[in-house]
Structure 1
Amino acid sequence: MRSILERRGTFEASFIAADRTGALSVMGFRPLQVFRQKPFWAKLLGLFLFVILVAMHAMPAHSADSAVREVEDVVVTATRTAVPRQHLGISTTVITEEDIQARRATDVAELLRDVAGFQTIRFGSPGSQTVVFPRGGEPNYTLVLIDGVQVNLGGGDFYWENLSTDNIERIEIVRGPQSALYGSDAIGGVVQIFTKSGSGPASVEVSTAHGLRSDRGRYFGEQKVRVSGGTDLFGYSAAYGRRDDGGILKINNDYWNNTFSSRFDFFPKDTWEVSLVGRLSDSRYEYPTESAGDKYSPLDPNQTQREQDVLVGVSARVQSTPWWENVVSVGYHRNLRRNLDPFNEETDFAESYGRYNEVRATVDYHANLNWKPTEAVTSVLTVGYERDQEDYAQESIYFDTTKLNADRTNDAVYVQEQLSLLSRLHLVAGFRVEDNSAFGTKVTPRGAAAFELRETGTTLRLAAAKGIKEPTFYENYANDSFTLGNPDLDPERATSWEVGLSQRLGSRLQASATYFESRYKDLIAYVPTPFPAPPERVPNFYNIQAAKSRGVELSLEGRVLENTAAGIHMTWLETEVTDDGGLSSIAFQEGKKLLRRPKFSASGWVETRWKNLHCRFIGHYVGTRDDADYRDWTMPRRVSLDDYFLLDAVVSYRVPVPAPAKDLEIFLKGTNILDADYEQVFGYSTPGAAFMLGASMKF
């Protein structure tokens, strides 16, 4: 895969229409009408449209030979094959190594925060629980792959707070249900991370950075080292990263993370490629917060969580003939978490302890069959089989001791056809059949189309798909004093479609927009045990709820001057609970919005270079959104969180150095440099301004 992992960006497409009055209408919104009221988001939209109109007027039409198309962007995750971005009918984004370096990003969640359609929130200080809402879906609706190995827990949960950017070459993001290719948990989108490969003479990269927070003057720092190299027969890359953070709260808020990452590539023949990847993360987080957050609850002085995450993957690509490619991969993932909360009279009813161990082993084989009967027709047929084994073990203590051991298996067959006609119309259709030991047999189809007008630099897109998400082990098999699982649960289901447009503006800019709708059914809800309790216990989880979301994603990126690039991404989102299952819940009320999803969010960046000086400024805006106040558990209530704007900056300077050193860069990174006071989750404090000074060197 090394040959296809080159730098390329992606830009989403979309659909904007005019209503019968002639006013611009986007998904029912009236941006021009609202602009007269001059809220923050309307000003951004006006700027977006103004730049597009000016660029379209000022820049000449371009041909297929335009400089902007000299290197086609390629995406792997969307189809499991290397496909030019223009051929895809679904929305994708690629975050390159250069993007990560320019931002000096510490973790992947920091990068996803600025992706259109994705909302990222953190429950307090660095190291605390971090979740991602894909297009208004649930936090466990995003499938996460590292070099093709799934790292979600059973049921889709993933701990974003501990996924660092160490040794990452690129990140591919595919929006919308992708269960037709990847099965359960790919119900809202896929994020795949590719580890850096090694080539050329042996080299060493080291970096160190140290900073202070405005919150109580707490220290935080990062240390990294990486070695890499290779020949025509093999390549290697290994890295270690350490992160320390003193937190933002007055007691019990330290966090540290160690990450080891490696990749070895072997090329025994010109038509063979074998890769071995490994990743180990070991972290510890002190969290004093209770259920109502740190602002309204006494702080627990000795509550901690320790997590160890291990990944190993082996894959082989064999080009048997010019038309037949074989791909075999084996993946192993293990996540071990331990929560410890000794009894504290001010905060606890009793001592609690939890140990949760999940293991996933996967074997996948698929064949890519290429067929080109004429110059006008190209076909790639993918046929595959996947076997998945999940094991879960839990031991917890809270008033009494609970032990739970369970396992599930899944066999799947998937088929996908990619058909290109006249090098303009690109069609994708496929389906996957799952046979799961817990929920039985399910079929998930998808289809997409992209039409290129190369003379005008336009790409039209349309896609529709269904997705599923399996229940968690606890929802299936819980059996303690408070909860009984339901082994007969169905997976949660999603039906989604999108339509879009991408437009090249001259040789430097790319504009895009996407309209999408998603409907979620069979959502799993907790149903309290009735009072008085029945003679025999009944399950507490049922598929009884539903919701929907729809939205618009707008994007504009490019090089505005010779040494200056900029981009802006905006998302309008509407969500609604369509069936609350007859339950009275503040968090899920029929006819109300889903919690913590802003109606409008935007992010933008400006990057400029002058000789050896490099500056990047990143702005992030989140509009108002609903949340829940649980200070009084007997009468929780809905609240509205204020909008906020964050500004980050990175300034770096490359210093000429003599051999054997190749490169020395000194950098200064500031986050929330305006020291904004804001809330991502009601009741939880957020970090103030922080600055970090560091240096990196290559040998």
Structure 2
Amino acid sequence: MQKILFSSLMLAGVSLSVNLHADTSTTGSDNDDNQAQQLGKVVVTATRTETPENQIGSAVTVITGEEIAAKRLTSVADALRTVPGLDVIRAGGQGQQTSVFMRGANSNHTLVMIDGVEMNDPSSPTGGFDFAFLQTDNIERIEVLRGAASAVYGSDAIGGVINIITKKGQGPTKFTGTAEGGSFGTWKTGGAVSGGTQRVNYSLDASRYETNGFSAADQNLQGNSSPNAYRNTTVSGRSNVKVNDALDLGMTMRYNGGKAFLDDCGGPNCDDQNEWNTFHELFTRGFGHLQLFDGKWEQTLGLAYSRSDRGTINQNQYAPVNPYSWTAQNLGEKLKLDYQSIFHINKANTATMGVEEEGDSLHSSATYDGSSSGVIPIKTMNTQGYYLQDQLQLFERSFTTFGVRYDDNNRFPGHVTWRANESFLIKETGSRLKASYGTGFKAPALQQLYDIIYGTGNPNLKPETSVNWDAGVEQDLWHDKITAGATYFNNVFNNLIQGNIAQNYLNQNIGHAKASGVETFFEVRPYTDLSLRGTYTYQQTKNLDTGSQLIRRPNDKASFDIDYRFLEKAHLHVNVLVVGHKADVDPTGVAGYTLLNLSGSYDLHPKLQLIGRIDNLLDKRYEEIYGYGTSSIAGYGGIKTTF
């Protein structure tokens, strides 16, 4: 960590002296909006450059801030539920552990970023990201890239990438305030200010969310009557300064903090009124963007820092039978320096190269009845990554991308990953053919390497690996008022890290798995105020060692959304989510379910709006994880003001 910090400070000083302090960013979240509009609908996650969506062979879904607002969603995890190929699993209500599985991959196989900052927690047991505490505040859009992206982003992107991009202020200063409440003693208040000129833009958002919640352990089972409360404070900010026509500087920051009460387990008699999590998460990045030779050479330099401080406290765990307490504390930090150079060689060829240096650290401790029961001293991991990518187009019909990356880690030998994808337009029929092939890898997490508290750590672990490919077709009809598509995917995962039962659950590279399936979608836009969208995913997953289905990944998932604006002031959104049966730790698995959700708004005044939503309108009883509770019918409402 000291090495990377020293290198970062040295490079930052050099960059300032030569006006090379830049960012288009690795996420593209800091690019000029006018340029993006000229390109049409663009995405940045798939290639790390602004690229029109129809020129990308990989599978990408974009969730806009407008869509999130229409559904009145408060958590990012809920916004991801309708994305093809994604399965969102929560162990109870808001604030409980939340996992996202992408195309059958493990939940820690997805790289999660916000404004170029990696959010995956170095101190978590598997190096993944828990979506439990991530709110939708100040989010402009979310880009979901499905399929191995290690050739672009390195470790953690073995299954795909979820890239969150926050709002960029523009126009006169605007203030927004929101207050809403509803079922389970839920309240949320928030305020935001944003604005911008040609030289400076800024946005700042803060919110407080509180709910008494419902029992994390299924309250329909014996002994689970106590609700699990949750508190969350979120602060998000972003600013950019255009120094001159060539140079932009900026900063982004996000903080999540609070407390969530827990239950001991899922199933009967799992209530625990004395156990809770505390969390403090910080993600920040300084960046800049330099353009030379009329924009033909773009350079980016960024320095990012993330910190995740999580604690678990259980007072009188089994009182009065065993009136003792235990605590656990995990601190993970990540410091990353990234440099990227984009060469617009000509209209048909764009080359990208980049260098990254990253340092991860972990400190973990546990106590039982006030006495230390185990400490993981500070452990670190350093990685240097080097990548190259070329984007070629022929006759404005064929768009090919090829990339390769080498990662050098101080804990295991260097690793090479690569990928290639193709998008081919048949303009005469409004058709698009696309395909991609790539390899991925996931470095062992620090806890997997060095855990001594539970005795599962193994410093001899190797990276997990994957081979992924997909192919699909998209079709526009009725003058682009109808769009439909289907994609077949196939993923194979090797060297998966699992606890070996025969050796007291010592972590070893003994797992192998496969996932394949089809993702489909359609969009219908008959006129401006009405849109319909549907998705369906069919997938088969298999543990290649046991032959069993991978748990918590259903074979079938479908969604249907209707968005309708009427009377010039009213807005109604209808969402139907259908999830099929899935395997779980219980041999019978978890039954499928269908949910109906409504949301809407009404403009009382140009500056005052009524907002509301109803979750689980049909009051279905269901589970996402065996033995854990879910929401009954619930209603929420409030006001939003802008001035």
TM-score by length of structure 1 reads: 0.83
Structure 2 equivalent of residue 387 of structure 1: 357
Structure 1 equivalent of residue 8 of structure 2: none
Structure 1 equivalent of residue 403 of structure 2: 430
| CA distance in 1 between partners of 2:613 and 2:118 (Å) | 32
SS at 2:67 equivalent: helix
Letter in 1 for 2:181: H
Single out whichever of 83-92 and 295-304 deviates more from structure 2. 295-304
SS at 1:101 equivalent: helix
| CA distance in 2 between partners of 1:223 and 1:505 (Å) | 43
TM superposition shift of 1:681: 0.5
Letter in 2 for 1:72: G
Contact preservation (8 Å) 2:75, 2:135: yes
Q: 1:463 to 1:93 in 2, by over 3 A?
A: same
Contact preservation (8 Å) 2:71, 2:600: no
1:129-528 superposed matches below 5 A:
129-154=97-122, 155-212=126-183, 218-249=184-215, 250-251=225-226, 253-287=228-262, 289-291=263-265, 293=266, 295-322=267-294, 323-345=296-318, 350-372=324-346, 378-398=348-368, 401-404=373-376, 405-480=378-453, 482-507=454-479, 508-528=481-501
TM superposition shift of 1:521: 0.2
Alignment partner of 1:693 is 2:637: yes
Letter in 2 for 1:486: N
SS at 1:225 equivalent: strand
| CA distance in 2 between partners of 1:495 and 1:530 (Å) | 29
Question: Which string of whole-angstrom CA distances, capped at 9 and with x for unpartnered residues, describes residues 633-681 of structure 1?
Answer: xxxxx12221100111112111225xxxxx2110121111111100101
Contact preservation (8 Å) 1:469, 1:492: yes
Question: Which string of whole-angstrom CA distances, capped at 9 and with x for unpartnered residues, describes residues 264-283 of structure 1?
Answer: 11111122222200111102
| CA distance in 1 between partners of 2:128 and 2:78 (Å) | 18
SS at 1:423 equivalent: coil
Q: 1:331 to 1:600 in 2, by over 3 A?
A: same
Contact preservation (8 Å) 1:156, 1:469: no
| CA distance in 2 between partners of 1:595 and 1:2 (Å) | 38
Contact preservation (8 Å) 2:39, 2:52: no
Q: 1:97 to 1:488 in 2, by over 3 A?
A: same
Contact preservation (8 Å) 1:184, 1:468: yes
TM superposition shift of 1:561: 4.3
SS at 1:180 equivalent: helix
1:623-642 superposed matches below 5 A:
623-629=580-586, 638-642=587-591
| CA distance in 2 between partners of 1:530 and 1:319 (Å) | 56
Letter in 2 for 1:606: I
Q: 2:552 aligns with which of 562, 576, 596?
A: 596
Letter in 1 for 2:144: I
Structure 2 equivalent of residue 646 of structure 1: 595
Alignment partner of 1:616 is 2:573: yes
TM superposition shift of 1:351: 2.4
| CA distance in 1 between partners of 2:82 and 2:33 (Å) | 22
Percentage of matched positions with identical amino acids? 32
Question: Which string of whole-angstrom CA distances, capped at 9 and with x for unpartnered residues, describes residues 479-518 of structure 1?
Answer: 23x4141112111111000001011112211101100000
SS at 1:98 equivalent: helix
| CA distance in 2 between partners of 1:70 and 1:384 (Å) | 25
Question: Which string of whole-angstrom CA distances, capped at 9 and with x for unpartnered residues, describes residues 424-444 of structure 1?
Answer: 111101111010011220001
Question: Which string of whole-angstrom CA distances, capped at 9 and with x for unpartnered residues, describes residues 270-299 of structure 1?
Answer: 222222001111020011x223x1x41241
Question: Which string of whole-angstrom CA distances, capped at 9 and with x for unpartnered residues, describes residues 401-421 of structure 1?
Answer: 211120000011100011111
Letter in 2 for 1:430: G
| CA distance in 1 between partners of 2:631 and 2:187 (Å) | 15
Structure 2 equivalent of residue 43 of structure 1: none
Q: Which runs of 4+ in 1 moved over 6 A?
A: none
CA RMSD of aligned residues (A): 1.9
TM-score by length of structure 2 reads: 0.90
SS at 2:471 equivalent: strand
Contact preservation (8 Å) 2:558, 2:577: yes
Contact preservation (8 Å) 1:4, 1:74: no
1:67-78 superposed matches below 5 A:
72-78=40-46
Letter in 1 for 2:269: S
Structure 2 equivalent of residue 31 of structure 1: none
Q: 1:623 to 1:697 in 2, by over 3 A?
A: same
1:651-690 superposed matches below 5 A:
651-657=600-606, 663-690=607-634
| CA distance in 1 between partners of 2:202 and 2:528 (Å) | 36
Contact preservation (8 Å) 1:143, 1:150: yes
Letter in 2 for 1:336: D
TM superposition shift of 1:346: 5.1
SS at 1:554 equivalent: strand
TM superposition shift of 1:197: 1.0
Q: 1:484 to 1:364 in 2, by over 3 A?
A: same
| CA distance in 2 between partners of 1:573 and 1:347 (Å) | 47
Question: Which string of whole-angstrom CA distances, capped at 9 and with x for unpartnered residues, describes residues 99-121 of structure 1?
Answer: 11111110110110110000001
Letter in 2 for 1:408: M
